[in-house]
Amino acid sequence: MHMADALISPAVGGTMWAVSAGTVAYCSRRVRQELDDRKVPLMGVLGAFVFAAQMINFTIPGTGSSGHLGGALLLAILLGPHAAFLVIASVLVVQALLFADGGLLALGCNIFNLGFFPVFFAYPFIYRKLAGSEVGGGRQATAAIVAAVAGLQLGAFCVVLETVSSGISALPFKTFLMMMQPIHLAIGIVEGVVTSALVTFVARARPEILANTRSGAPLAAVPLRRTIVALLLAAVVTGGFVSWFASERPDGLEWSIAKVTGSDELAEPADGVHRALATTQQRVAVLPDYSFKQSTVRANARTGTSVAGLVGTLITLAVAGLAGLLLRRRTRPAP
C-alpha cells in the first residue's frame, strides 16, 4: 500500500508530511518520557524484521493480486504505540530513500496510512479490548485478525481520499474505493494471522515483553538477548533468502489502480515538485526496486534481492536503533 508520487498533489503531500512529522515529534516526546533504555535494541531488531517481512509479498488466491505484512500492529503489541510509530516511520523512510519503494512526496501519506491507524486506533481500541490479558490462544488470534483488518481498511480508505483529493489522476472515488477495500480486507486477514503467530512466538519465549508493554512497565528486568538474536536472525534469513520467493503479482494498491485504469502505474507530472523529487529519489536510491541498478551492475535477480534484503535489514536496524538511542541519551540529566 505504498503510494507513489503520481497519486499525490504537492498540497496533499505537504499536508501529510506535516501531519506525520508532528506525530513523529509527539511520539518522540512520549518515548523520552518512558525512560526505558532496554527498549532501544528491541526497536532496532523489530524494525529490521518488519523491513525484511515487507519484502515478502504473498499471493491473494483468485485475485491476481498480492499483499505483504504492514507490521505496525505487531510493533504496537511488542513495543507500545509510540515506539511502534517511530519504528514503522524509520522502515518507510529507508524504503523510500534507498529502494525507491513509495514516493518521496507521498512519504508522509505512507507513514500516516501504514502507521497511524494500526498503532493509535486498531491496537488500543480493538486489539487490547478483544485480547484482554491473554497473550496466546484463540482470543488473541481473533483480536489480531480484527485489529489488522480494521487498521488496513482505514489505511486503504485514506489512500483513496488522498488520491481523489489530490485531483491529478483519473481515479474516481467510488470505483477506486470498491477495488481498494475488498482486496485489503483479504490482505488484512492474512496480516492478522501472521501477526498472531509472531505474537504467540514472543509470548512463549518472553511473555514478560507483552505483559510489560501492555501495562506500560519498563523492560528493565526482562532478559532480551535470546529474543533479539532470534529476531535478527529471522530478519536476515527473510531479507536475504526468503525474499527470493515473494510473489511478483501487483500489490493491492497496484491491482486496484490496474482494475480502474488498465495499468498498475500512473504517469507522474513531468515538471515541478514531482520531477524534482523523482530526480532526487533516482540519485539516492542505491538499490531501486530491491535490486541492482542495471546500468552499473550485471547480476541475477536473486543476488540483487538478497543484497537489497541484507542491506535494508542492517540499515533499518541502525536507523531504528539510533532513533531509540538518541531519545535515550536525551533523557539523561546533565551532570
Residues sharing a CB contact under 8 Å with residue 125, sequence separation 6 or more, in sequence order: none
Domain coverage including residue 293: 5-113+206-330
For residues 46, 49, 51, 52, the Cα torsion angle rounded to the nearest 10 degrees is: 180
Q: Is residue 146 part of a domain?
A: no
Q: Is the pLDDT of residue 317 over 50?
A: yes
CATH, residue 271: 1.10.1760
Q: Is the pLDDT of residue 126 over 90?
A: yes
Q: Is residue 160 part of a domain?
A: no
Q: Is residue 314 part of a domain?
A: yes
- What pLDDT does 335 receive? 41
For residue 231 the three cell numbers come to 529476531
Q: Is residue 136 part of a domain?
A: no
Q: Is the pLDDT of residue 204 over 50?
A: yes
pLDDT digits (tens, 9 = 90+) for 216-266: 888 877 888 888 999 999 999 999 999 999 999 999 999 999 999 988 778
Cα–Cα distances (Å) from 134 to 141, 194, 210, 211, 212, in that order, read 10, 17, 10, 9, 13
Q: Is residue 94 part of a domain?
A: yes
Report the domain count for the chain: 1
Q: Is residue 127 part of a domain?
A: no
Overall pTM > 0.75: yes
Percent of the chain with pLDDT over 90: 71
Q: Is residue 24 part of a domain?
A: yes
